[in-house]
Amino acid sequence: MKSFVNRYRRIIVVGLHLALIVSAYLAAFYLRFEFAIPREYFITTIPKTLPLLVLIKILFFYFFGVYSGLWRYVSVGDLWKIFLGNILSSVTFFVAVVFYHGLLGFPRSIIIIDFVLCFGFVSGVRFFTRLVMERGKIDLVQKKKKVLIRSQNTDTIRG
């Protein structure tokens, strides 16, 4: 299993990001409309804009190097890459929606809610992975017994 994950790590990460991007976008609509999304958004707006959003976010994440590096070593620098990639992709998506779909019938608050949720999801998964990895290291260290070894020969001092 570990070799499979190592071999296809980048594909798995991109697939996970796809799921997180789609989840954040749909959750933004659910939050905006208080968990009762009007039917016309499911029929027209979401199917027209979701593929565009996914394409833009994946490209910006790739451009900012979000897919490089190991999650167990995630740092503030990685968080900054996620933030920049997410904010610029959200701005680009907004501009694309204006030209492609028009603002009439598209709630602008979706852009902001999606940005916050997507940033939280993507960075949260990475930091959760690091937390789990570090927690595992701490447990291993705490389970070790500390032992004091005393020499039988007390006359000899060793340096």
pLDDT tens per residue across span 112-147? 999 999 999 999 988 888 788 777 665 555 556 666
Minimal CA–CA distance to 118: which of 52, 47, 23, 16? Answer: 23
Whether the predicted model's global pTM rises above the 0.85 cut: no
Residue 18 pLDDT greater than 90, yes or no: yes
pLDDT at 103: 76
Q: What is the DSSP letter of 73?
A: G
Q: How far apart are CA 64 and CA 124, in angstroms?
A: 18
**pLDDT confidence bin for 30, thresholds 50/70/90:** very high
Q: How far apart are CA 50 and CA 44, in angstroms?
A: 10
pLDDT at 20: 96
Q: In terms of pLDDT, which residue wins out, 69 or 80?
A: 80
Q: How far apart are CA 145 and CA 80, in angstroms?
A: 40
Minimal CA–CA distance to 85: which of 118, 117, 60, 114? Answer: 60
Q: What is the DSSP letter of 146?
A: P
User: What percentage of the chain carries pLDDT values higher than 90?
Assistant: 48
Q: Yes or no: say if 113 and 32 are a contact pair by the CB < 8 Å rule.
A: yes
Computed over every residue of the chain, the mean pLDDT equals 84
Residue 51 φ then ψ, to 5°:
-60, -35
pLDDT at 77: 83
Residue 60 pLDDT greater than 90, yes or no: yes
Cα distances (angstroms) measured from residue 107 to each of 11, 87, 126: 32, 18, 30
